[in-house]
Amino acid sequence: MQLPQYLSDHDLKRLDDFLASGNVSDFSMDVATLEGWLTALAIGPRMVMPSDWLPWVWDFEYGQEDVDFASLEQANEIIGLIMGWWNQIVQNFQNHPETFEPVFRRQAVWGAAEWCEGFLKATQLFDADDWSLLWAADAFKTTKGNHDLITPFLRLGDEGGMEITRETGDAQRWVDAVVPTVLAINKYWAPRRIQLTGDRAQRTMRRATPKVGRNDPCPCGSGKKYKHCCGRPATLH
């Protein structure tokens, strides 16, 4: 069963145009990199909060540059697109992983190399030790196509790997390997993934973490004060 995409090609184009605009740094992600990034976070060993990964969308190099929205309406639109896409990716892998179709299969302008670069970097920045154990685990060395799990992402999303791919001329092999490899990784992590929903609800009730003050930095990572961001009812996150 093929589920409808959360974002249409038109939505993705609008998002891509914003990420390429002067509102963000020269190091911002594009749509392909963003989906690879979100996919790794969605199928990885632990839940990663948007406040931790969202700054990297605007600054894929350092995760430090801010985004300059022209208006509250634009902020709501762009953040809404990203968070809606993120939620749909998570839900699809939880409920219908067989429907996974990366954007590089939808339009050639969204490249598999950029997609793999986003996926690979997410595994290096978040829960890197757990990912390293997976890459090295003998029991999970191969998937369909008889290759190490990390290989498609290295051969397409890493500068050294891309050099090898250009020399061997087998890029299509690794493009074709992305989907089955992602599904194999999701199958590995799914029963092991730390489910934080129940624990987080209990921690909220007990206030195990300090309450965010209205003048404190917003925990979503926007760089604004809480009262002007998530603490403001009109703001969509």
Handedness of CA 48, 49, 52, 53 (dihedral sign): positive
DSSP one-letter code for 4: P
Q: What is the pLDDT of residue 140?
A: 67
Residues 175-203, mean pLDDT to the nearest whole number = 76
pLDDT in tens, 13-51: 999 999 999 899 899 999 999 999 999 999 999 989 999
Mean pLDDT of the chain: 83
Per residue in 87-142, pLDDT tens? 999 999 999 999 999 999 888 888 999 999 999 999 999 999 999 999 988 766 66
pTM over 0.85: no
Position 61: which residue type? E
Q: What is the mean pLDDT of residues 187-203?
A: 63
User: Position 196: which residue type?
Assistant: L
- Alpha-carbon radius of gyration of the chain: 18
List pLDDT tens digits, range 224-234: 665 456 554 33
**CA 204 to chain CA mean position, Å:** 25
Spatial CB neighbours of 152, under 8 Å, sequence gap ≥ 6: 116, 174, 175, 177, 178, 181
Give tens-digit pLDDT for 85-102.
999 999 999 999 999 999
List Cα–Cα distances, 63 to 58, 78, 221, in angstroms. 7, 18, 10
pLDDT above 50 (res 198): no
